[in-house]
Amino acid sequence: MRISWGSLKAVAGFFSAIILTQFGANTSATAADTVVVRLGLFTESISLAELQKAAKTGELPQSLQSYTQGLSEEQRRSFLGALGMNIPMNVVTLDKLINTQIGTTILNDFATALARKDKAGVQALRAGLVLGSTAPQGLSILSFIAAYPSKRLEIDLPKAFVVVGSLNTAFWRTQQFMLALTRNGLSSDIASQLDPRTPQIAFPFDPSQPGVAQVKILNLSLNDQKRDRKIPVDIYWSTAATADKPVIVFSHGFGSVRTDLRYLAEHLASHGYVVAALEHPGSNEANTNSALQGKTRVMKPQEFLYRPQDISFVLDELEKLNQTANNSLQGKLATNKAMVIGYSLGGSTALALAGAELQLERLKQRCKENLTILSLGENIQCIAQQLPENSYQLRDTRIKQAIALNPTTSLIFGETGLTKVQVPTLVLAGSADKTTPALTEQIMGFDKIPSPKWLVGIVGGTHLSVKDPSTTLDQIGQPNTPISGGEIVGEQAADVRKYLKAIALAFAFQMTPEAKNYTVFLTSDYAQFASTTAFPFRLITQIPPDAMAVVKEFVGK
């Protein structure tokens, strides 16, 4: 049976919207033709008609004033926006999804918040979702309520808070951890490493500025016949490219495209690097769109193996190009000393190529338990539970350095997989990342990676902050839930992209004779210097033992 993991989390977010009506939860609660919110002996009712009117007029119903009067204007807008939120999924796909073992597990969790005498909460939720998805406008909170097989949709508020409070616990623990890493929360020697003062050093030039070379783009369509994979590749290069500099390969995130870091590819190419940005056909945007139409799975478990193999295949093809006579790139491609940059799921791809071992025994156990508490990044990793073996080694020895931006690491690499990384590695984390929460996905994993290594913290950065603006949606009006939303992108995240251009270039130069001229930019001093009011940047090469104790304390909660 095929299962859409991205859609699965969308359904989870949909449920949270249903049961999170009040007290700043940014979403809404409703029923068949009446929604009843129960708090002990007290109840409050609201009709479906009132909610439908609210969705149209943008005005909150009078009957909910006692619950919504404490909401901010932004929270009120999110509440009303959630009423009209549609999930782009047809009835066939949804039916398959919620009848899987994973889907049933999540339905069971949410059913505990429903007050029903017949204990048929799971069946009622399933019926409401399936029937609601057949409405002309598709599945929404309102169509779910109208299709819910009962006169009243009763929500037990304390239980609802327990369910919703458990959603994406890694994100909330990250926020607690970040608050702990202050001068008041840690000893002064730890704080000085994690929260440095203004640097007393001058920097020779600005590595975030473009190079002098004019960037060209070569579009290739490669075909790996052995694995039946058609792989589009955009090669960013200039006449300044030489074999003295490493080839850089980009691996995009789940459900994304090869242009998700285009600004960074152009920046590196302007400084004489050849950058190959490829698209993984089994986990790109086109595949996800096809899955939402019920035509395929959102991602097959084999994709965890195929993605690193895609990179290796592209390096093979680039070497052929390097040796092709009368080719503009002939002799310019140092494929035997490559650097990989991966974002999100691509970050774990980069780490696997760097030597990290996929270790799945613990993952296979963890992914059988309560899945609603997991982040989207953790749920994506759970797809790997269907792989037959418990360990996989996918290292490519041509990869000599790796950058992992907001990577997924918490489950896929097990207890010791990251200790097998063989190359210098830079990991970037955003403190406000809900998709791959920093504490569990980057900070814990970073501690296991052998030195030399660098951990870059973007305080206030979200999961999409590093992405090219052309690949991020306008966030105005987007629901902000415990699972997703609240993204800082586009012009608001310009400072983040500027800093990333600087450190990625400096890191690439570590593989050239000019390394010493760029080392200063891979320091905490430069991170502090480049910081802005909106985004303080932090860079460390080791997590101090006392700080790591705080990490383990929060993760162990």
pLDDT in tens, 507-523: 999 999 999 999 999 99
Q: Is the pLDDT of residue 425 over 60?
A: yes
Q: Report which of 118, 123, 175, 97 is spatially closest to residue 371, judged by C-alpha positions.
A: 97
DSSP state for residue 256 in the 8-state scheme: B
Alpha helices in 345-419 (DSSP H): 345-353, 361-366, 376-382
What is d(CA 306, CA 92) in angstroms, rounded to the nearest whole number? 28
Q: Is the pLDDT of residue 441 over 90?
A: yes
Asked if the bond preceding 196 is cis, omega within 30° of 0, the reply is no
The lowest-confidence range among 51-55, 93-97, 145-149, 285-289 is 93-97
Question: What are the residues whose beta carbons fall under 8 Å from the beta carbon of 328, sequence distance 6 or more?
Answer: 218, 237
Q: Is the pLDDT of residue 26 over 60?
A: no
Q: Which two tokens stand for residue 311?
A: 């990179």
The lowest-confidence range among 113-127, 215-229, 247-261 is 113-127
CA dihedral 24, 28, 29, 30 (to 10 degrees): 150
The lowest-confidence range among 296-300, 455-459, 482-486 is 482-486
Question: What are the residues whose beta carbons fall under 8 Å from the beta carbon of 137, sequence distance 6 or more?
Answer: 86, 143
Average pLDDT over every residue of 438-444:
91
Q: Is the pLDDT of residue 148 over 90?
A: no
Average pLDDT over every residue of 264-287:
97
The lowest-confidence range among 88-102, 181-195, 340-354, 359-373 is 181-195
Q: What is the pLDDT of residue 400?
A: 98
What is the CA angle 7-48-114, rounded to 5?
60
Q: Buried (b) or exposed (e) across 509-533, using 16+ Cβ within 10 A?
A: bbbbeeeeebebbbbbbbbbbbbee
Neighbours of 198 (CB within 10 A): 9
pTM above 0.85, yes or no: no
* CA–CA distances in Å: residue 192 to residues 184, 447, 525: 12, 19, 11
Q: Which residue has the higher pLDDT, 55 or 314?
A: 314
- HSE of 422, CA atoms in CB hemisphere, 13 A: 14
Q: What is the pLDDT of residue 394?
A: 98
Q: What is the pLDDT of residue 387?
A: 97
Q: Which residue has the higher pLDDT, 202 or 212?
A: 212
List phi, psi (to 5°) of 501: -60, -40
Residues forming a β-bridge with 392: 358
The lowest-confidence range among 3-7, 358-362, 385-389 is 3-7
Q: What is the pLDDT of residue 549?
A: 77
Condensed to tens digits (0 to 9), the pLDDT of residues 364-388 reads 998 987 666 677 888 899 999 999 9
The lowest-confidence range among 16-30, 193-207, 294-308, 489-503 is 16-30
Q: What is the pLDDT of residue 292?
A: 82
Q: Which residue has the higher pLDDT, 516 or 64?
A: 516
Q: What is the pLDDT of residue 214?
A: 96
pLDDT band at 557 (very low <50, low <70, confident <90, very high): low
What is d(CA 106, CA 373) in angstroms, rounded to the nearest whole number? 10
Mean pLDDT estimate for the chain: 82
Average pLDDT over every residue of 233-239:
97
Q: What is the pLDDT of residue 189?
A: 45
pLDDT band at 460 (very low <50, low <70, confident <90, very high): confident
Handedness of CA 192, 195, 200, 202 (dihedral sign): positive
Q: Is the pLDDT of residue 67 over 70?
A: no
